């Protein structure tokens, strides 16, 4: 369970759901005066970064490519991505720490997040093409999620998205595209890239969450997100699909291999 909110003596709601929906932004000091529902959504988002981004330290899946990537240049780029994901995690911790006694810190244990978003990262990767596909697809999912939070209602998070999360996430996805294009320069590499994309395309689509999720509408009402899971997924397919095709890859069937619809 992610972080829980500690109800302190000052739990009166001074900033209502209607206020926030109507354009009222919220600072860190004001968070405790918002509806508990909003506080939990915000803390959940921050905790997702604090605990989730450290997946890059999962050796079998991710970090072994720091030494196993084909060329020295690739290894340096992998290390840079690992460093930047850990910066993302630390930024999540900083934003949580900023909330002080509002958050129950006994809940903030280094738990491995569960759920659709991290499904793919429980599998070891043995082909470099897979790392390329992970970067090109799952980091791109992150970009699609973050681009609509650049102006979200919780100001410290909007600021972090603008300065720390979104710019670096775009770089991770760009490295992935670079590696996929390189692989696609030979028939052998293209076959490996296709196999990796076939595996990671459904996992990336699953990361957007279920289309029927009730919480997605609450996120939108509070201006923490702007699109539904399905809208975001559809835009991803129509943007990223043609890019893959331009490298000579075939876009997998959007329904095959999926676990979360």
**Interface stretch with Fe ion, choices 38-46, 84-92, 107-115, 153-161 (CB under 5 A):** 84-92
**Interface stretch with Fe ion, choices 11-19, 46-54, 180-188, 194-202 (CB under 5 A):** 46-54
3-state helix, strand, coil in the chain (%, to 5): 65, 0, 30
By CB under 5 A, tell whether 88 contacts Fe ion: yes
Residues 6+ apart with CB under 8 A from 21: 221, 222, 223
**88 vs 225, which CB is nearer to Fe ion?**
88
**32 vs 175, which CB is nearer to Fe ion?**
175
Concatenated DSSP letters of 52-97: HGGGGG-IIIIITHHHHSSSHHHHHHHHHHHHHHHHHHHHHHHHHH
Give the C-alpha separation, 107 to 233, whole Å.
31
By CB under 5 A, tell whether 172 contacts Fe ion: yes
Cβ–Cβ under 8 Å, residues 88 and 59? no
The residues in 129-158 that bind Fe ion, with binding defined as CB under 5 A, are 139
Give the C-alpha separation, 152 to 225, whole Å.
7
Give the C-alpha separation, 47 to 227, whole Å.
21
**Interface stretch with Fe ion, choices 50-58, 64-72, 94-102, 243-251 (CB under 5 A):** 50-58
**130 vs 169, which CB is nearer to Fe ion?**
169
By CB under 5 A, tell whether 91 contacts Fe ion: no
Number of residues that bind Fe ion (CB under 5 A): 6
To Fe ion, the closest distance from the beta carbon of 63 in angstroms equals 13
**Interface stretch with Fe ion, choices 25-33, 45-53, 105-113, 121-129 (CB under 5 A):** 45-53
Residues that bind Fe ion in the complex, under the rule CB under 5 A: 53, 85, 88, 139, 169, 172
């Amino acid at each position: 369970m992610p972080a829980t909110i500690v109800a302190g003596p000052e739990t009166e709601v001074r900033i209502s759901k209607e206020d926030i929906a109507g354009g009222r932004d919220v600072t860190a000091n004001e968070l405790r005066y918002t509806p508990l529902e909003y506080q939990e959504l915000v803390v959940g988002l921050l905790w997702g970064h604090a605990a989730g981004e450290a997946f890059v330290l999962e050796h079998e899946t991710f970090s072994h490519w720091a030494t196993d990537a084909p060329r020295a240049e690739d290894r340096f780029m992998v290390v840079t991505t690992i460093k930047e994901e850990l910066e993302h995690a630390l930024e999540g911790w900083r934003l949580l720490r900023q909330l002080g006694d509002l958050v129950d810190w006994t809940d903030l244990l280094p738990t491995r997040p569960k759920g659709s978003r991290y499904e793919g990262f429980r599998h070891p990767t043995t082909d470099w093409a897979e790392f390329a596909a992970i970067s090109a697809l799952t980091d791109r999912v992150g970009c699609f999620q973050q681009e609509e939070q650049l102006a979200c209602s919780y100001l410290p998070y909007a600021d972090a998205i603008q300065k720390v999360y979104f710019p670096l996430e775009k770089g991770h996805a760009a490295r992935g595209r670079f590696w996929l294009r390189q692989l696609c320069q030979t028939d052998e590499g293209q076959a490996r890239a296709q196999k990796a994309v076939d595996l990671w395309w459904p996992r990336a689509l699953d990361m957007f969450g279920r289309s029927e999720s009730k919480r997605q509408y609450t996120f939108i009402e509070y201006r923490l997100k702007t699109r539904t899971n399905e809208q975001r997924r559809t835009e991803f397919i129509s943007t990223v699909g043609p890019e893959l095709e331009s490298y000579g890859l075939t876009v997998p069937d959007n329904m095959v291999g999926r676990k979360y619809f």
